[in-house]
Chains A and B, each alone.
Chain A
Amino acid sequence: MLRGLLPALSLALVLIAIAWLNPRAISYFGFNLMLNLAIPIALATIAQMFVIAGNELDLSIGTFVGFVGCVTATWLRDAPLIGIVVLLGSIAVYALLGALIHLRNLPSIVVTLGMSFVWQGLAILVLPKPGGKAPDWLLSILSFKPPYIPFPILAALIIAAIVHFGLMRTSYGVILRGSGGNAAALRRAGWSLLRTKIVLFALTGLFGVLSGMALIGITTSADANIGNGYTLLSIAGVILGGGEFVGGRVSPIGAVLGALTLALAASPLLTFMHIPPDWQVAANGAILIIVLAARVLISRRER
């Protein structure tokens, strides 16, 4: 029980720390500012969560987000049709990767590590120098200011609700998670494991595309390296959110909470703590280790 609450607890802890250090940050404006990049991080984390649900890992999600960003800032604005085709095509590539990994029984870490260089290279081809501009409709979506609730929080709620419903409540979501829990049992019950793997990878591609687009909608212009940090951030978010690397145990709500925690712990909290930027990355890692260690301790006690 406590274990299920841990993602929410760690987020609350970070929020309390921020409120204590800087009460003014807990406001409509403050959240908009602090959670500036939370939407793309949450989407990338959800993307990663789908492959992890099938006992795989995607090491290319970061450069893929970067690639999508470059396409969004160039083709999607200048030639929308080509842009859409390229983005849909990249989702199809993800689906094919899933099929390849299943059929040839390849380790996904190796395949996606290779793909990370492919996406990086393509991103540089599309946008050799930082620049480009997000399409106006995308900019206006992401600068939406709903009343009372800051947009990043609203978006996180919507993302979590949709994915939770799709993966945790629908009947096919059960099959997708079951493929990570006991693939042999699923095969014996007559389900296609090829199909579950393709669907999981395609969903990763889809949410990777959404993440890249959201990122460009916020930063307004792109850079081939813009998403590189997202690979590890997304993995950490899934684990922080109560997911496990194997066994199909994942939680979409937890993953979104994990992503928000990471987004807040990354810079706002550390800045308020007057930790110099040089040390922020290390401090961020330390926070991650503390939370994960707490999780292990709690789940051991509950056993």
Chain B
Amino acid sequence: MLKANTDIVRLNGAEKHFGAVRALNGVDFHVGAGECVGLVGHNGAGKSTLMHMVAGTLRPDGGQIAVRGNAEASYSVARALELGIRCVFQELSLCPNLSIAENTRINHPALKGFGWRRKAADLIRAKLDEIFPDHGISEDDIAGDLSIGRRQMVEVARAFTLTSEPLHLVILDEPTSSLDAHTAGQLLAFVRRFVAAGGSCILISHVLGEVLQNADRIVVMRDGKVVAADAADVFDRDRLVAAMGGAEGHQKAAAEARKTEPGALRVRARPARQQDGKELVARAGEIIGLAGLAGHGQTDLLLAIFSAAARAKAGIEVTAPVALVAGDRQSDGIFAQWSIAQNIGIRSLTRLRNGLLISPQREADLAEFWKNKIGIRTPDMNNNIFSLSGGNQQKALFARALGSDAEIVLMDDPMRGVDIGTKLEVYDLVREEAAKGRTFLWYTTETEELDNCDHVYVFKNGRIVADLGRDELTEEKIIQSSFGDAG
């Protein structure tokens, strides 16, 4: 075991309640110096709560926290920063109205006085160059104008910038959820370098491969408790999933080849910047993948298809009602003030109507049906949508799309930051719905998800550069075409 004085942080018997919900139920957790700890578990297992405690944004209701062997009685964000503990939160925490340099300033009280702007700009540029050599972000860019992936890159880089405060431990909560494979690799390589140089890191990720490959030690949480903790090489994928209480049985279903007989044409679309004759074709009952590096026109095409369903658009043909599952769920998906049931029902208002009004009964029925079908974990569907964990919010958005009359479902990388159990459940559901004749257009940054697709289009610079059938689909091929010079 590690000695106490090499601990960066140690929590003993940490507890936290939110009303009747016990988010943390006596958790012991520690991180040593020069160690990368992987933290895995389903959404709602208590990972985020635990990390908020380490970062000082939440106070434990019970238990102690000690930093470098000293018990901290009044631990806070300011104290954590002073002790060199920082956190990159899952919800993006940049100020969208400020430039990248100004956002860097927010985390560094020391950046002030004459010439602070230049210092802040140099600081963040150097760090971005170091972690993501080909980032293409200018320090004068306004954060809100950047794509979600680039915002995440900035946020990660910002956490590693150094001024007067020390830096010992960085908590990375789903740092790669909006990054494509290439940038995610750059980030993880940097994390390894950081740890090798003596820094410590907590890596939370739902991509189990990332955790297995990069963590020295893995801690598994379930229902507010630590259920397993051991050196990373003791675990493999199956053991991790088992420890998380996961859905092992589903695993390989995806790989089963599905018989697809071409159905009626549902979507025929050509990206606005496409110059050759390539176009995306989707038929009834098909799951179509949109792959490639993040932000290369996949979302734009989905949105173009979505608007073409309402109003005719050149180059795009859509023959059935469309629903969209948003990727940036906080800004594009959720009605923050509404209940879960209302959030699900909004796409189906015509069906829920009784005369001029919405029938509360039908709305409740619809919500209840999907609660059971998709497994939304809540005591009451009339609770506010924010009472759900991130993964369950995403399930509600799926229920909104699947509960509607839409025959075409557009998915804009909807699984980012969603735990593996939820993912597998949703994959099954998508295949089941496709078998019933629905069409799915699925943009994803996770190559594994493409295994669910019948057909994959790879995007680069707003154009389709490759068109892969199910049998030709390999990760290599996708990476090759997303980096290749074709198109």
By a beta-carbon cutoff of 8 Å, the part of chain A in contact with chain B is 169, 171-172, 174-175, 177-178, 180-182, 184-191, 247-249
Contacts and interface: CB of A to CB of B under 8 A. Distances in A.
Interface stretch (B97-105, B350-358, B459-467): B97-105
Given A171-B112, A171-B116, A172-B112, A178 B106 contact: yes
A177 B106 CA distance: 11
Chain A to chain B: the 7 pairs with minimum beta-carbon distance, closest first? A181-B95, A185-B93, A181-B97, A171-B112, A190-B78, A178-B95, A248-B97
A contacts with B: majority SS: helix
24 contacts: A171-B105, A171-B113, A171-B116, A174-B98, A174-B102, A174-B106, A177-B95, A177-B102, A178-B95, A178-B106, A181-B96, A181-B97, A181-B98, A182-B94, A185-B94, A186-B95, A187-B77, A188-B87, A189-B107, A190-B77, A190-B78, A247-B97, A248-B95, A248-B97
Nearest to B52: A188
A169 B95 CA distance: 16
Contacts of A248: 95, 97-98
A177 B98 contact: yes
B contacts with A: majority SS: loop
Contacts of B111: 171
Nearest to B107: A189
A191 B98 contact: no
B106 A191 contact: yes
B106 A186 contact: yes
Contacts of A190: 76-78, 81, 109
B57 A182 contact: no
B423 to A, nearest CB: 27
Given A171-B105, A172-B112, A190-B81, A184 B98 contact: no
Contacts of B103: 178
B97 A177 contact: yes
B117 interface: yes
Interface centre among A172, A175, A182 (most CB of B within 10 A): A182
Contacts of A175: 105-106
A238 to B, nearest CB: 14
A180 B94 contact: no
Contact of A188 (B93, B105, B144): B93
A191 B93 CA distance: 14
A171 B102 CA distance: 8
B113 A178 contact: no
A189 B97 contact: no
Contact of B93 (A177, A180, A182): A182
Contacts of A186: 95, 106
B106 A189 contact: yes
Nearest to A175: B106
B89 interface: yes
A182 B102 CA distance: 13
Contacts of A184: 91, 93
Contacts of A191: 106
A138 B109 CA distance: 40
Given A171-B116, A174-B105, A174-B106, A189 B98 contact: no
A245 to B, nearest CB: 12
Contacts of B105: 171, 174-175
Contacts of B113: 171
A189 B94 CA distance: 11
Nearest to A248: B97
Given A171-B111, A175-B106, A188 B57 contact: yes
A249 B97 contact: yes
A180 B97 contact: yes
Nearest to B78: A190
B96 A182 contact: yes
A49 to B, nearest CB: 13
Nearest to A249: B97
B98 A188 contact: no
Contacts of B76: 190
Contacts of A178: 95, 97-98, 102-103, 106
Interface string B104-128: 0111010111001100000000000
A185 B95 contact: yes
A172 B117 CA distance: 12
Contacts of A171: 105, 111-113, 116
